Amino acid sequence: MRHITWQEVQVEAERIANQWRGRVHTVYGIPQGGAPLAVMVANLLGAQLIEKPTIGMNTLVVDDLIDSGKTMERFFKDFRVDAAFRKSHSPKHFAPYAKCIDDWLSFPWEKNDGAPTDGIVRLLEYIGENPARDGLIDTPERVLKAMKEMTTGYDADIAKILSVSFDVDFDELVVVRNVPFNSLCEHHMLPFTGTATVGYIPVDRVVGLSKLARLVDAYAKRLQVQERMTKQIADAMLEHIKPLGCGVVVRGNHSCMSCRGINKTGEMVTSSLHGALRTDNSARAEFLALAGY
């Protein structure tokens, strides 16, 4: 976490004021983080601070941070816009001179140092719950801990996982069937679970057995879609093991389909094949048979 100081905010406020001096008459701060910045910019410009932007008032709309850009996009067409900070993935045209920092930012005016738990508290309030009641007091911390645990794949070193291999004279299929996994759908952040079957034809060396299960976890424990996860596992095997062929079959059940929307269950099956397992019909058939097809 990167703690932004008042001095850093002041520097960015001065930068924004210098950029827009003589070009705007009013300043509006996007709630909540944009409000303190708007006060500082308006004072530096000698401009009027307004509570609601109105077309035709020559208004500058400011925010503390541009992340995805969705919030700023609402104002971009009708107003001048700027921000103090942005991320490297943020749309640059909204605030091309904003300071770029790729980290979780906390601002001086935020409660609890702008901890991610603030967002969980606001979500509980949004659905009509009372975050202060007995059963929910520690829920934000629990949710945050669970999310970190379920997304440890982002920290996985794939090359290191697959670096453990042994000099074994074996040139037939090696298959690990039905490796359980738990993942999170990136569209709704709801779990999808299932099994992955991975196999490869080694060249000179075989990889440690548990490493294939760790490889599945490395890609499952992220915000995912099953199709991408299947391909990532197969691509990693091809790159790091360098086999004659490799393949992955994933079966998954998605709660984003079973507990919302259509409310139906159904197993999704995806596969990804490389090398001999893709081009040699007999090798392909043998792998798919061992995978349960």
The residues carrying an active-site annotation are 185-188, 226, 254, 256
3-state secondary structure (DSSP) of residue 170: coil
Query: Measured on CA atoms in the order 198, 199, 204, 208, is the torsion positive or negative?
Result: positive
Name the β-bridge partners of 81: 61
Asked if 138 and 176 count as a contact pair (C-beta separation under 8 A), the reply is no
Asked if 224 and 263 count as a contact pair (C-beta separation under 8 A), the reply is no
DSSP 114: G
Query: What phi and psi, each to the nearest 5 degrees, are found at residue 71?
Result: -65, -50
As a whole number of angstroms, the distance between CA 287 and CA 168 comes to 20
As a whole number of angstroms, the distance between CA 206 and CA 162 comes to 10
Alpha helical stretches, state H, 46-161: 70-76, 117-126, 139-150, 158-161
As a whole number of angstroms, the distance between CA 123 and CA 130 comes to 10
3-state secondary structure (DSSP) of residue 253: strand
Task: Please name the residue that has the structure tokens 């998954």.
Answer: 252
CA distance to 22, 44, 134, 268, per residue, from 58 (Å): 11, 17, 49, 53
Which pair of structure tokens corresponds to residue 28?
Answer: 């509006």
